[in-house]
Structure 1
Amino acid sequence: MKLIFIFIDGFGLGEVDERKNPIYKANTPTWDYIIKRGRLIATDACLEVAGLPQSATGQTSIFTGVNASKVLGRHLHGQPTEALRNIIKNSNLFKELLERGFTVTNANVYRPEYLSRILDPKEKEYKPSVTTVMTLESGLSCRTLEDYKLGKGLYHDITGKILAEEGYVESTISPSDAARRLYNLSREYDLTMFEHFLTDVIGHKMDMEEAVGNIELIDSFLGELIKLVDLEEDFIIITSDHGNIEDLSVKTHTFNKVPTVILGNREKIDSINIKSLIDITPAILNLFDNYGNLDKQGKGLEN
């Protein structure tokens, strides 16, 4: 059993109104397929705390199963504070799976200057994201530009356009090529995570044309990935931390629920119960507890 976990920042379930929701203005054959083929669970991101959901607390809640907003008594934007870092350090999705004997990886590649700054204890301006803290606190290394050039990782924008524009690489890759990279990498690990956060950036800009282009890029990327993955054996899970891009009539995040999409064997996924962000990590751990070890045992018997 392999599981690919795709985290898309700022992607909520909005109204069927293409005047403000680019998801309905864009051409999204894969998203249409996902809704029919998988389980789409409308997932609460407010976590019983007043105010608009935010990234630091939302992502901490997703990747630890702890209601970080309740712990702080508020929603927190940006990168995690020391209090949130302690929650992540104590227990997170990567750490829990590693302790169970599974292999995990963060597929995202970091630019060298950014990586050196977030690893510098004296650095005050640049702070690591929740997924970066989780990676480092689990004893894993962050993927580098060298990994990217070897095809062993993805940049957060999927195609590497930012890397090409800044002169790190000569050219971009297609969404299909990116999907094949992620699939090939996922064959080496039990869980492979990829994070895309331009959805949140674009949502704040309220740019419909850019939003439609970004959603269509994600759709193409997911379409190729689904073709590659054997969904009778493996799983793809997609979720978000809060709404934003689905309502371009406002510049802020939204109170909308977010989609948690689970693609895989129907019998195995129908029993998964997710109501809010804090249920996602426990659900993934249950999948591995129920099916991951059986898969390893089966391979052992074959050998």
Structure 2
Amino acid sequence: MRVAVLFIDGVGIGRNEPEQNPLAGRELLLSRFQDAPGAPLPEGGQCFPVDTTFGVAGRPQSASNQTAILTGQPAPTLIGRHVLGYPDKPLRDILSQHSIIKRLVAAGRTATFANSYPVAYLDALKLHRRPSTSGPEFTLPPAALRRLKASATTLAFTAGNVALRTFEDARAGHGLTHDITGERARARGMTAVPQRTPAEAAEVFWRVAGEVDFTFFEHYLADEAGHARDFAAAREALDTFDAFARAVISTRPPEARVLVCSDHGNVEDLTTRSHTLNPVPVLYFGPPAPELEALATVADVGRTVLRWLDVE
């Protein structure tokens, strides 16, 4: 069995109001609403709304909820608060101890992160990476180095001693950029990064996923657009992710299981720059999985991956 998670930051279940929700009035996979039915999902897909708050006061945040997804642990409950941005010391400890990647590898399973990063970024953070024949793409100034922090995802894979992919992997067709198309990196002067359509990116995704038991892909531009309250950027990010996800789903091997999930709400309500308290949709595509009816929080995504791959 192969399991894949397509993670998109900052997409919750809002209202079907086009004036505030860029998902409204459109038939995207993630166009799920509190006050209106969404369009039927392709390939027999199912949607399961799940909680993001864990009953902890305040607005859910990326660092703590991504830690929950990547460990299967109720991270905000364990530390008693929500943590924005990048994991702090308590969250890093949870990732180091409970990473689902670490547990999969310890059980003899294989896992990979499909995203590719600049060598300069990975080396500055001293993160375990795949070999690269080219040197760093740029030099980070001291001020930037001091601000640099590792994401929950890179820490989860590092905890399992899984080497992270570089832009050289992306050039070779063995990795993806976070924006799917490669346009972001190219706009920043890294023209050696290939430009791809979402369908071409899906081909790369299954090439990568075909080598392992578990594959994770991360996209965070929708969350950026939500904080900026930028309708145009939100729709561009959502459209690109939707085209990519549909291509991944339509070319899914019969035995593979694909989950599409988020960590918290944001872009579904552009009346505010803040995260929302809305539930998020977990979409499923694959063989029958009645156990998904029990999904309650985003942490259950990580627990489900472990269960499917026989790591309890």
SS in 1 for 2:147: coil
* Distance in 2 between residues matched to 1:271 and 1:76, nearest whole Å: 30
SS in 2 for 1:289: coil
**Offset at 1:30?**
8.5
Partner of 1:163: 185
**In structure 2, which of residues 263, 268, 275 is the aligned counterpart of residue 253 of structure 1?**
275
* Distance in 2 between residues matched to 1:76 and 1:271, nearest whole Å: 30
Greater shift, 271-280 or 42-51, is seen at 271-280
Partner of 1:262: 284
SS in 1 for 2:281: strand
* Distance in 1 between residues matched to 2:177 and 2:295, nearest whole Å: 29
* Distance in 2 between residues matched to 1:124 and 1:136, nearest whole Å: 20
**CA gap 1:27/1:38 in 2 versus in 1, 3 angstroms:** closer
Partner of 1:280: 301
Higher helix share: 1
**In structure 2, which of residues 232, 239, 251 is the aligned counterpart of residue 209 of structure 1?**
232
- Runs of 5+ consecutive residues of structure 1 not aligned to the other structure: 291-303
Structure 2 residue 45 is the aligned partner of structure 1 residue 38: yes
The residue type equivalent to 2:152 in the other structure is: V
Superposed CA RMSD in Å reads 1.9
**In structure 1, which of residues 170, 173, 190 is the aligned counterpart of residue 213 of structure 2?**
190
**Offset at 1:211?**
1.0
The residue type equivalent to 1:243 in the other structure is: G
**Offset at 1:47?**
0.5
Structure 2 residue 29 is the aligned partner of structure 1 residue 8: no
The residue type equivalent to 1:226 in the other structure is: I
SS in 1 for 2:92: helix
**CA gap 1:204/1:149 in 2 versus in 1, 3 angstroms:** same
**CA gap 1:64/1:29 in 2 versus in 1, 3 angstroms:** closer
Structure 2 residue 80 is the aligned partner of structure 1 residue 79: no
Identity of aligned residues (%): 33
Partner of 2:291: 271
The residue type equivalent to 1:50 in the other structure is: A
Deviation digits for residues 162-202 of structure 1, max 9, x if unmatched? 11112223552111111111011110111110000111101
Structure 2 residue 262 is the aligned partner of structure 1 residue 240: yes
**CA gap 1:240/1:92 in 2 versus in 1, 3 angstroms:** same
Structure 2 residue 154 is the aligned partner of structure 1 residue 147: no
**CA gap 1:254/1:226 in 2 versus in 1, 3 angstroms:** same
* Distance in 1 between residues matched to 2:208 and 2:149, nearest whole Å: 27
* Distance in 2 between residues matched to 1:275 and 1:36, nearest whole Å: 24
Output the TM-score relative to the length of structure 1. Answer: 0.89
4+ long deviations beyond 6 Å: none
- Runs of 5+ consecutive residues of structure 2 not aligned to the other structure: 32-38, 128-141
- Do the aligned residues in 1 keep the contact of 2:181 with 2:195 (CA within 8 Å)? yes
Partner of 1:200: 223
SS in 2 for 1:23: coil
* Distance in 1 between residues matched to 2:81 and 2:42, nearest whole Å: 32
**In structure 1, which of residues 125, 128, 145 is the aligned counterpart of residue 147 of structure 2?**
125
Deviation digits for residues 68-102 of structure 1, max 9, x if unmatched? 11222111101001111111111111111112211
* Distance in 2 between residues matched to 1:26 and 1:56, nearest whole Å: 30
**Offset at 1:217?**
1.0
Structure 2 residue 42 is the aligned partner of structure 1 residue 19: no
Aligned length: 286
The residue type equivalent to 1:5 in the other structure is: V
Output the TM-score relative to the length of structure 2. Answer: 0.87
Partner of 1:136: 158
- Do the aligned residues in 1 keep the contact of 2:16 with 2:25 (CA within 8 Å)? no
- Do the aligned residues in 2 keep the contact of 1:30 with 1:220 (CA within 8 Å)? no
The residue type equivalent to 1:271 in the other structure is: E
**Offset at 1:280?**
1.6
